[in-house]
Amino acid sequence: MIEYLNIIFLETYKILFLLVPVLTAVAMIVWLDRRVWAFVQKRRGPNVVGPFGLLQSLADALKYLFKEIIIPASSNKIIFILAPVVTMTLALIAWAVIPFNENFVIADINVGILYIFAVSSLGVYGIIMGGWASNSKYPFLGAIRSAAQMVSYEVSIGVIIINVLLCVGSLNLTDIVLAQENLWFIIPLFPMFVIFFISALAETNRPPFDLPEAEAELVAGYQTEYSGMMYAMFWLGEYANILLMCALGSILFLGGWLPPIDTFPFNFVPDSLWLIFKMLFLFILFALVKAIVPRYRYDQLMKLGWKIFLPMSLVWVVITASYLFYFELLPGN
Amino acid sequence: MLAHSLFFYAFSFIAIFSAIMVTASKNTVHSVFFLILDFISISCLFIMIGAEFLGMIMLIVYVGAVAVLFLFVVMMLNVAQQKKQWFSSFGSSKHIPLGVLISVIIFFELIIVIGGWKYKPEVVSSIMESQSIGVSNTHSIGNVLYTDYIHLFQLSGMILLVAMIGAIVLTYRKRAGLKRQSYFSQISRERSDSVQLADVPNKKGVDIDG
């Protein structure tokens, strides 16, 4: 019995040690997102609360917390309440397999990359549930758009992941990072990195692919009927997903926690800081794209996913596999 | 071991309960959500018996793709809520004997199939070997799927491809008067394709098309 309690205590400690920084980071990147956006548009952005406006997200969270939660009378109440919970939970449980350095990972499972892929493909349910349960036109349209969009872009993300897995020979995220010790995969697989980045934008409903919540057409899409803390949970879940995609991108292509060159000034920096730098780099790219690219039309979005990204990444799988086979570089031989 | 069996019973209870609720709930959208819960708890059971690859594939394929399409169709069709549940309304009970008959037949077929199931002897030994030397089950599935069962694997892929093409052919129709965007013709447009300079005589106009 004591053993069980010990294990449970240890695991809870590890989970809190991960989740509290992740949630803090989510609050910080919301601020960063707004600052970058403002910077591109020559505005100041949030700079009043705290130093440089760093505490703006905290103030927002407090505001949401004290607002009334309004549940529409004609909504399906259980599913309406479950939707933000599902979004938030799914955005957080995926962090269990992200390795921050060679030793710090909560669950070092064999099928880590499949786990992340499965969890991110479940993410669409929060949006569909919210959109349907609101029992209102705009949320429903937003949910339908989002479902089609996320399913389409998952396909190309899956094929891109296959490219990386061909070079690694393992589904374990730690192995994927360790396989990049000599060469980050962004160099041989650069086109795949670009497609991954754009697909990740679409997968997380970020601009220019934010059609599920296109404010010009759909008010706020699936979030229209939500208020108070429930709206904030959708928001937090969305940003946690974005951060997760940044982490996945840095693990798959940018060598995870590995320093760029394994010499003195670089390997003196702690491993997990390198991962955080890479995630920040990717996130600033995400934020810049939001500021400078206009929104796609829906048919263009679908065409991009199915007719351009999917064939390109499939051809690249063939190229990678043939190259590795011809030069006998296939892992596991 | 105690925690293991507790989790096992919890997941199997959720699986059976949600499987019943799929047919019993009044609202069709709720049925699909219970179906999703069923898929998730079954993939948890897969993971608990050590088949983590199968469990994850189950989540990705069934929950991430198939059930989304189910939900999509059910929501789009806007199926009216059933007024009564099947087990509480006697008006619709005339279908129950037929349903019971079919399920009994399927049950016995399953027993026959599982009872007569035989593995190739070398496959069993290779699975045992791979487990004993600590190869992950992703590797061992790959070893079997791409060697001994490659033809069946390819064949099932072909069947899926045929079904996909069939569905596209059935729903594809050419609509007249529809304007489509073509990126290539847009990008490859030159100035000479679209701009024409003409000397326009005064008070006569010009016939561009001629």
- Decide: B43 and A122 in contact? Cβ < 8 Å: no
Burial class (CB in 10 A: 0-12, 13-18, 19+), A150: buried
Q: B33 vs A129: CB contact, 8 Å cut-off? A: yes
Q: What pTM, to 2 d.p., does this model score?
A: 0.82
Q: What is the pLDDT of residue A318?
A: 93
Q: What is the pLDDT of residue A229?
A: 86
A89 touches chain B (CB under 8 A): no
What's the DSSP call for residue B62? Answer: I
Mean pLDDT of chain A: 86
What percent of chain B is modeled with pLDDT above 70?
Answer: 81
Q: What is the pLDDT of residue B80?
A: 54
Q: What is the pLDDT of residue B49?
A: 79
- From chain B, the residues in CB contact with A79 under 8 A are 33
Number of neighbouring beta carbons within 10 Å of residue A313? 23
pLDDT digits (tens, 9 = 90+) for A158-176: 999 999 988 888 888 888 8
- Sheet strands (E) in B49-140: none
Number of neighbouring beta carbons within 10 Å of residue B82? 14
Tokens at A172, concatenated: 């374990």
Q: What is the pLDDT of residue A180?
A: 86
Q: B68 vs A4: CB contact, 8 Å cut-off? A: no
What is the distance of C-alpha A132 from the center of its chain? 23
- From chain A, the residues in CB contact with B138 under 8 A are 110-111, 171
Confidence at B201, pLDDT banded by 50, 70, 90: confident
Q: A121 vs B56: CB contact, 8 Å cut-off? A: no
pLDDT over 80 at B125, yes or no: no
Lowest pLDDT segment from A23-27, A155-159, B69-73: B69-73
Three-state DSSP class for A250?
helix
Tokens at B176, concatenated: 């007249």
CA–CA gap between residue A293 and residue A297 (Å, rounded): 12
**Averaged pLDDT, A234-258:** 88
Tokens at B7, concatenated: 């989790």
More confident residue, A272 or B40: B40
Q: A118 vs B136: CB contact, 8 Å cut-off? A: no
Q: What is the pLDDT of residue B166?
A: 93
- From chain B, the residues in CB contact with A332 under 8 A are 139
Number of neighbouring beta carbons within 10 Å of residue B145? 12
pLDDT digits (tens, 9 = 90+) for A76-86: 888 888 889 99
A147 touches chain B (CB under 8 A): yes
Torsion region of B83: left, alpha or beta (phi above 0 gives left; psi -120 to 50 gives alpha): alpha
- From chain B, the residues in CB contact with A148 under 8 A are 72
B110-to-B106, B107, B114, B137 alpha-carbon distances in Å: 6, 5, 6, 26
CA–CA gap between residue A329 and residue A278 (Å, rounded): 28
Q: What is the pLDDT of residue B129?
A: 55
Q: What is the pLDDT of residue B25?
A: 80
Q: What is the pLDDT of residue B106?
A: 93
**Averaged pLDDT, B103-130:** 74
- Decide: A223 and A139 in contact? Cβ < 8 Å: yes
Number of neighbouring beta carbons within 10 Å of residue A200? 24
pLDDT over 80 at B124, yes or no: no
pLDDT over 60 at B177, yes or no: yes
**How big is chain A by its Cα radius of gyration, in Å?**
21
**Averaged pLDDT, A134-142:** 84
pLDDT digits (tens, 9 = 90+) for B32-71: 889 999 999 999 888 887 788 888 888 888 888 888 888 8
Can you state the angle between helices A271-292 and A190-203, rounded to 10 degrees?
70
Confidence at B152, pLDDT banded by 50, 70, 90: very high
To the nearest whole angstrom, how far is the Cα of B52 from the nearest Cα of chain A? 7
Torsion region of B139: left, alpha or beta (phi above 0 gives left; psi -120 to 50 gives alpha): alpha
- Decide: A112 and A97 in contact? Cβ < 8 Å: yes
pLDDT digits (tens, 9 = 90+) for A45-74: 888 887 888 888 888 888 888 888 888 888
CA–CA gap between residue A58 and residue A49 (Å, rounded): 9
Lowest pLDDT segment from A205-209, A321-325, B7-11, B122-126: B122-126
More confident residue, B189 or B205: B189
Q: Which of B29, B52, B136 lies at the smallest CB-CB distance from A132?
A: B29
pLDDT digits (tens, 9 = 90+) for B62-102: 888 888 888 888 877 766 555 555 555 555 567 778 888 99
Indicate whether this complex's ipTM tops 0.90. no
Three-state DSSP class for A194?
helix
pLDDT over 90 at B117, yes or no: no
Q: What is the pLDDT of residue B101?
A: 92
Would you say the C-alpha torsion A322, A326, A331, A333 has a positive or negative sign?
Answer: positive
pLDDT over 60 at A289, yes or no: yes
- Those residues with Cβ within 8 angstroms of residue B35's Cβ, 6 or more apart along the chain or in another chain: B18, B22, B67, B70
Q: What is the pLDDT of residue B88?
A: 54
Q: What is the 3-state secondary structure (H, E, C) of B179-193?
A: CCCCHHHHHCCCHHH
**Averaged pLDDT, B2-21:** 88
Mean pLDDT of chain B: 80
List, as one string, the DSSP characters of A90-144. HHHHGGGG--SSSS--S---TTHHHHHHHHHHHTHHHHHHHHHHTTSHHHHHHHH
- Decide: A147 and A120 in contact? Cβ < 8 Å: no
Confidence at A129, pLDDT banded by 50, 70, 90: confident
- From chain A, the residues in CB contact with B3 under 8 A are 4
What percent of chain A is modeled with pLDDT above 70?
Answer: 99
**Averaged pLDDT, A12-20:** 86
End-to-end CA gap in chain B: 88
Q: Which of A109, A125, A303 lies at the smallest CB-CB distance from B52?
A: A109
Residue type, B150: I
Asked if the bond preceding A51 is cis, omega within 30° of 0, the reply is: no
- Decide: B29 and B75 in contact? Cβ < 8 Å: yes
pLDDT over 80 at A298, yes or no: yes
To the nearest whole angstrom, how far is the Cα of B65 from the nearest Cα of chain A? 7
Q: What is the pLDDT of residue B15?
A: 92
What's the DSSP call for residue A305? Answer: I
pLDDT over 80 at A238, yes or no: yes
Q: What is the pLDDT of residue B104?
A: 94
Confidence at A182, pLDDT banded by 50, 70, 90: confident
Number of neighbouring beta carbons within 10 Å of residue A93? 16
pLDDT over 70 at B123, yes or no: no
Q: What is the pLDDT of residue A195?
A: 92
Size of interface A-B (CB pairs under 8 A): 65
- Sheet strands (E) in A37-93: none
